[in-house]
Amino acid sequence: MSIGKIMDFTLTSNPQEEDFRRRLGAFLDRELTDEIRRQNPLDKGLGPEGRAFMRKLGAAGWLGIGWPEHYGGSGGTLAHEIILSQEFARREAYIPNSVARLMAGPVVLRHGSEEMKREFLPRIARGEIEFSLGYTEPSAGSDLAAMRMRAVRDDNHFVINGQKIFSTQSHYADYHWLAARTDKNAPRSKAVSLFIVDQRAPGITIHPIETLGGERTNAVFYDDVRVPENRLVGEMSRGFQYMMEALEHERLMLCQTVRLRGFMDRLIKYARETLRDGRPLSEHPAVRRRLAKIEIEFEATQCLETRALWLLRENAVLATEGTIMKLVSSELRQRLAYTALDILGQWGRLESESKWAPLAGEAAHYSRASVIETIGGGTSEVLRNVIAQRNLRLPRNT
Amino acid sequence: MDLEFSDEQRLIRDSAREFLAQACPPASVRAARSDPRGCPRQLWRAMAQLGWMGLSVPEHYGGSGAGFMELAVLLEETGRVCLPGPFFSTVMLGVPCLLELGNARQKKAMLPRLARGDLVLALALQEGGGEFDPSRITLPAQKIKNGFRLTGTKMFVADASAADYLICVARPGIQGQPGKDLALFLVARDAPGLHLAPLISIDGTQLHEVVFDGVDVPLDNVLSGRAGIWPQLKQILLKATIGKCAQMVGGAQHVLDIAVSYAKEREQFNRPIGSFQAIQHHCVNMLIDLERARWLTYKSAAAVVGNDLQSQQASMTKAWCNHAYRRIVQLGHQVMGGVGYCEDHELPLYFRNARMAETAFGDSDTHMEIIADALLGADCPPIAAASERGLAADEL
């Protein structure tokens, strides 16, 4: 027997992908400014800088990177999508227009009419239109199938009434990616349809909601809003199926544990440079322990993510890999936030605009913003149920 | 990027798993506690016949010449059944010491016998303070005619009673003055002056305090290097650490498997307890810690093969596996309730195994400090006394 096969944990496999990573990296290093970074995720609205940047991404063919060329995409592979996500995450930036790119676009591509594909996909790919997400309602969060918003057919339109909440980006998006109940009688999860709604249509009222993390989100009210029938996405009553079918893929792509590296490094640097009780924080046993602990969890979580991304690249059918990664990376983020606060002590509670705020107030902000991580996109409790039932095959509680 | 085992590696895994499931049941593990050999003779011979002892021994010494990934795969399976006895000591410590530090004659004399399973080795490393730092290894090896005389005590020596030879890490000196380098001394089990006092360990590992009361070692049985043996021994210990992690992953996986099976079968309140959220969440918490332990360990094993394993990486892996195995066993107990608390159930074997594994090759505090050093620099200047003892800087 010769020396056996070694596992290879590097993420790129071939020269073409390496080249793409290089070109993308050079572009981002040139174009991505702190102002652009700031405009998205704060979701106060992409400003002119953010939009100009988005159009440049579109012009380079990177917004619709995995979509077919005749719909405005670049015909790239999953490997390209992964590289794109990683290079943004490494630079602590977000790829703009995630609802359009990761949810609306792919569903339209898979299930939309030819007319719908031609109307929306090229514009998304060029960075000309933005989407907001309209799923959650006050009485339908984890239990999304309990949604009450109704879409009733009226000749060649649907008339929509109801309310959505946490519809982040609605105040500036062009279109609302909307889920509404179209069938009064069918079982709950087979009664929902998806629509693309013009966010400025008459009858839509948007109320701002400020969050603990500082992002703006919205409550959106629909009062007899008329939507043309050709804005129904795919088939009636298939909404839930469309929403769920790529969930593992979406969850995995949104993780990007590498995003945390920058903050961790700044924290380490701060610990080395800041004195407390006459010696650097980095010499205090409690600080050393906290940083070592979070570093270990970061490394362990990244290893698992690498494995999941490899499976995705290999076109494996994901079972619960995305759900597991969302669960563990969200909990890691929160532990990192508390690690930072605990190391920075009283100074850590100072916000960015305060005198003496360390790391430009990052710790205070991050601690507030990380609260939603274990709630949005699937609460940690629900995700654990999903993993238990689908991965470990433990029985449902019926 | 390639994150799958080869067919050969899968074959090793599957055949080892099948073999050990029938050849090393819990009863064997319990019986081994009172057996100084640590491993039933029949099981040892069967493993030898399967070529396990020679897996990493080069072909021209009678082994298979396999690499570290193959070893890791095999070790994971041994961990799954809490394999008792000196397999780990012999294969992960003894064999590498011979390979890295033995001269041609020593290798020729011992490696073929090791590969056949005819020789058992144990490493005597730690001393009274239970530390791993080489500066703390001070057992003197006094130069005498034709050899050295060892006088001192080693602690926590696993498998000493099973070993044909102990490999004693000691510090050669002349006329009472300790030298700056360490060396390895092969001490026969029946050497005059060698005394073993058994330590009763929580998992039944044959652990000993070993007293060297003027034990003479001929030059032929000394392994040394130009810069002392520490650089090579350090690497051997790092790799053994990853090997231990592989075993821990195997043990933890078995605990998860039996907990989930139990949760599906056991009924209370007219339903399987696995339908209760609390139980489901415990099982998932076990899974997410285990999977991270697994891939972190495989990544480190790949680094060993690539000759690229850094201390920090090994420490992160061991610290995480310590945490994961502990948590998995704890949650396993919660899921299995009263039956898992009974000694005739297999879960207590894993509890005991986890207690020993989490301090092998460094407990979490030790590893956290190594990681902190790498991230932040050392927290204090090197120990001042070191220069008095004439220790080389790279031994600190």
Answer yes or no: do B143 and B166 share one domain.
Answer: yes
Answer yes or no: do B281 and B264 share one domain.
Answer: yes
SS3 A159: strand
Answer yes or no: do B144 and B268 share one domain.
Answer: no
pLDDT, position A214: 86
| B268, part of any domain | yes
Q: Identify the closest residue of chain A to B371 by CA–CA distance.
A: A292
**Where are any strands of DSSP class E within chain A?**
131-134, 150-154, 157-165, 175-181, 192-198, 204-210, 216-228, 232-233, 275-276, 279-280
Q: Which of B223, B242, B276 is the last residue of a domain?
A: B223
Answer yes or no: do B250 and B154 share one domain.
Answer: no
Count A/B contacts: CB-CB distance under 8 Å.
176
Question: Which of B375, B379, B380 is the best residue to mutate to test the A interface, defined by the most A CB atoms within 10 Å of its own CB?
Answer: B375
| B396, part of any domain | no
Answer yes or no: do B12 and B110 share one domain.
Answer: yes
Answer yes or no: do B132 and B101 share one domain.
Answer: no
Q: Select which of A250, A283, A295, A351 is catalytic.
A: A250
* Chain B positions in Cβ-Cβ contact with residue A395 (cut-off 8 Å): 264, 271-272, 274-275
Answer yes or no: do B51 and B102 share one domain.
Answer: yes
Question: Which has the closest alpha carbon to B366: B249, B250, B241, B200?
Answer: B241
Contact B163/B124 with Cβ under 8 angstroms? no
| B387, part of any domain | no
Query: pLDDT tens digits, residue range A48-95?
Result: 899 999 999 999 999 999 999 999 999 999 999 999 999 999 999 999
Facing residue for A313 by CB, picked from B1, B279, B288: B1
pLDDT, position B390: 42
Q: How far apart are CA A312 and CA A321, in angstroms?
A: 9
Q: Which of B158, B192, B223 is the last residue of a domain?
A: B223
* Chain B positions in Cβ-Cβ contact with residue A3 (cut-off 8 Å): 65-67, 305
Asked if the Cβ–Cβ distance from A292 to B284 is below 8 Å, we say: no
pLDDT, position A41: 65
Cα distance from B287 to chain A (closest Cα, Å)? Answer: 9
| B390, part of any domain | no
* For chain A, the helix, strand and coil percentages under 3-state DSSP, each to the nearest 5: 55, 15, 30
| B61, part of any domain | yes
Asked if the Cβ–Cβ distance from A283 to B6 is below 8 Å, we say: no
Q: Write the DSSP assignment of A64-105 as a string of letters.
A: TTTS-GGGT-----HHHHHHHHHHHHHTT---S-HIIIIIIH
Answer yes or no: do B212 and B285 share one domain.
Answer: no
Contact B59/B12 with Cβ under 8 angstroms? no
Domains and CATH numbers, chain A: 15-129 (1.10.540.10), 133-239 (2.40.110.10), 246-390 (1.20.140.10)
**Spans of chain B, pLDDT less than 70:** 380-396
CA distance from start to end of chain B: 37
Produce one character per residue of B44-69: b if its CB has 16 or more CB atoms within 10 Å, e if not: bebbbebbbbbbbbeeebbbbbbbbb
* Chain A positions in Cβ-Cβ contact with residue B375 (cut-off 8 Å): 268, 291-292, 295
| B64, part of any domain | yes
Number of structural domains, chain B?
3
Cα distance from B299 to chain A (closest Cα, Å)? Answer: 7
Instruction: Assign residue B186 the CATH number of its domain.
Output: 2.40.110.10
Answer yes or no: do B234 and B370 share one domain.
Answer: yes
Q: Tell me, what DSSP letter sits at residue B32?
A: G
Answer yes or no: do B234 and B372 share one domain.
Answer: yes
Cα distance from A183 to chain B (closest Cα, Å)? Answer: 31
Answer yes or no: do B134 and B112 share one domain.
Answer: no
Contact B69/A7 with Cβ under 8 angstroms? yes
User: What range does the domain containing B174 cover?
Assistant: 123-223
Q: Which of B66, B99, B119 is the last residue of a domain?
A: B119
Cα distance from B173 to chain A (closest Cα, Å)? Answer: 36
Asked if the Cβ–Cβ distance from A2 to B295 is below 8 Å, we say: no
Contact A193/A123 with Cβ under 8 angstroms? no
Answer yes or no: do B81 and B177 share one domain.
Answer: no
pLDDT, position A6: 76
Beta bridge partners of B142: B149, B173
Q: How far apart are CA A37 and CA A94, in angstroms?
A: 7
Instruction: Assign residue B351 the CATH number of its domain.
Output: 1.20.140.10
CA atoms lying within 13 Å on the CB side of residue B281: 9
| B32, part of any domain | yes
| B391, part of any domain | no
**Spans of chain A, pLDDT less than 50:** 1-2
Asked if the Cβ–Cβ distance from B281 to A381 is below 8 Å, we say: yes
* Chain B positions in Cβ-Cβ contact with residue A272 (cut-off 8 Å): 376-377
Q: Is A250 a catalytic residue?
A: yes
Q: How far apart are CA B99 and CA B124, in angstroms?
A: 17
